[in-house]
Amino acid sequence: MREAHREGLKYGLRHIAFNPDEAMTDEQLSAFARRLCDELHADPEHLTLVIHQKDGSTHGHMILPEWQQDHVLESRFTWMRMEKVARLEEIRLGHKLVAGRHDRAIAKALRKECRHSEAEQVDALVPVSHDAKPRAAYTSEARRITERQGLDLPALKKLVTSLWSQSDGLKAFRDALKNHSLTLREGDRKETRPGAHIIETSDGLLVGSFTRLAKVKAADFRKLLSEEQNQTEHERDVKIQSSRLSIRRTTADFYNEYPIPKPSDTQPVPRKPLVIKRPKIPAWRKELWLKKMADVDALTTKPLPSSSSVHIISAEEACFRKEIRQAISQQRAILAQQAPEATWKPLDRGKMIATWRKQLTPYQKQLRKSFDHYSVAKREWQDAEKSRWQRLTGKATKLERRADQLFFEFLEVLRFVVQALLHIVGLRAEPPNPIRSILSEKNKPALEHFRKTYDAEFSAMADIQKLAPWLNQRFDRIVQARQKRIMDWNRAHTDEKDAAQREIKRLSDLLKTKTHKVKHQALISPSRSRSPASFPAPNPQTRHPTPGTPSWF
């Protein structure tokens, strides 16, 4: 601390704690601490390491001085770099990999260090969406504070998560928290963080932020608050409206039965409400209306003249026509059906191929880099074979083994890159399998067979000039496959659409015919369905009924 004060540093010591999920020996923990020193460029001879057990878990605490005799301890991207060392240690010991927030950056750093196998394993931990990244519900400092206050923060976090998953809204969640002596309220820092809510105990002890404990986005939480506020205002309005009693005058002496107190001299006398009277209907209009109603209810005794545009039908016939129209609309819906992909937007060749090329660029670089390593090793081995001295000393043999090993690694990279190509263009459902770090002679036949099988894809990835025609050919096949699926769908539904077209024509003819009265008895019978689809075709030879006969009897 005196050295840090002398050098003008704000901090004098740096504390790093590490707690593995699986058991590690003291030697492994000590070696891991030294690897952390190497990453941060710290002197391992000036560290303090404490290894102890707490709650049955062995973990370590390491303290490093900020002043390293001639330089300051590095603090640039410290958390990412420590996560990288942790992932490498998990891979080295065979532990289960723990997903972190910086796995993408860690994989990129490992590739720069030529650790491609480790980078692929870390890259597999990267979530698909940015929102799925791990996020700490509380800090280690907050946990230590709650422990000093007698609270188990991890248990409370699990409790809050469980209560939120079982609640169907903020109101139910607040009631559930109340049953466990917890409350949800707005935070104290309203100016800097408006809308933030915290969870605390009944004694006022802070548990943490609601959005972090419940793993809820801030935007979603604001929407829930708005819905809760609108619901509360609606309930308040309903309560106010329900408290009003509607009083209606029912008798002539209503005001005598319920006397109203006389207003005082200071209060103005209320005016009597205006009575709005219905306008009186003239006698001639009333007689005309009664005559029209009598004409509607009377039976028809003679047919209407041909010049009249009025056609009066019964209610049963109107229902009959409505059923026919509904059946016609159903058949038209069948005609309007299209293949699922017929309404899709046409594929953009330039945009899709540009996207493919952008995704394939890092794989092309990886394949070219692996081939360059193999080419250099092969050239060194061939040069050593020309030297008699190197053959006698065995150097040529070592270079040959190295070239063979790099050739195996190149074939493995080729397999990985070709699978990535097939996955990107849609010929492979799953992503490529990670690159294997250990290869032997047993893997050589399978890799050689893979290279021969996908020679065209290998040539496209190895040569930039051949990649463009291959991608264009793949795009044409996608378009042709879509057109074929649309044609197959149309061919499979041709008979159904033809039948619907015939049914529409038959029902339309039935709707246009004027001889309904006799047909109704034959078409709508108790033994047959009233569905318009089962109606028989009209018979032009049917005799017209006599006037005055009901339509449906």
Instruction: Please name the amino acid found at residue 94.
Output: G
Those residues with Cβ within 8 angstroms of residue 399's Cβ, 6 or more apart along the chain or in another chain = 377, 380, 381, 384
Asked if 64 and 13 count as a contact pair (C-beta separation under 8 A), the reply is yes
What is the residue-wise DSSP string for 478-506? HHHHHHHHHHHHHHHTHHHHHHHHHHHHH
How much is the pLDDT for 304? Answer: 52
Mean pLDDT check: name the lowest of 8-22, 46-60, 187-201, 293-307. Answer: 293-307
Euclidean distance between CA atoms 125 and 120, whole angstroms: 9
Mean pLDDT of 214-239: 72
Reported as a pLDDT band with limits 50, 70 and 90, residue 110 is confident
63 pLDDT higher than 90:
yes
Helix (H, G, I), strand (E, B) or coil at 545: coil
Token pair in block for residue 25: 């020996």
How much is the pLDDT for 521? Answer: 39
- What is the residue-averaged pLDDT of the chain? 77
What is the residue-wise DSSP string for 353-391? HHHHHHHHHHHHHHHHHHHHHHHHHHHHHHHHHH-HHHH
Mean pLDDT check: name the lowest of 6-20, 158-172, 300-314, 378-392. Answer: 300-314
Asked if 533 and 327 count as a contact pair (C-beta separation under 8 A), the reply is yes
Looking only at the bridges linking them, the beta strands covering 57-65 and 182-186 are: unpaired
Euclidean distance between CA atoms 484 and 51, whole angstroms: 67
Q: Is 337 exposed, middle or buried (0-12, 13-18, 19+ CB in 10 A)?
A: middle
How much is the pLDDT for 498? Answer: 93
Mean pLDDT check: name the lowest of 13-22, 80-89, 219-228, 267-276. Answer: 267-276
- Quote the pTM value: 0.36
216 pLDDT higher than 80:
no
Euclidean distance between CA atoms 549 and 303, whole angstroms: 12
More confident residue, 1 or 128: 1
Looking only at the bridges linking them, the beta strands covering 197-201 and 182-186 are: antiparallel
What is the residue-wise DSSP string for 126-182? S-SSGGGS---SS-HHHHHHHHHTT--HHHHHHHHHHHHHH-SSHHHHHHHHHHTTE
Mean pLDDT of 257-267: 54
Which candidate, 38, 24, 127, places its Cα nearest to that of 84?
38
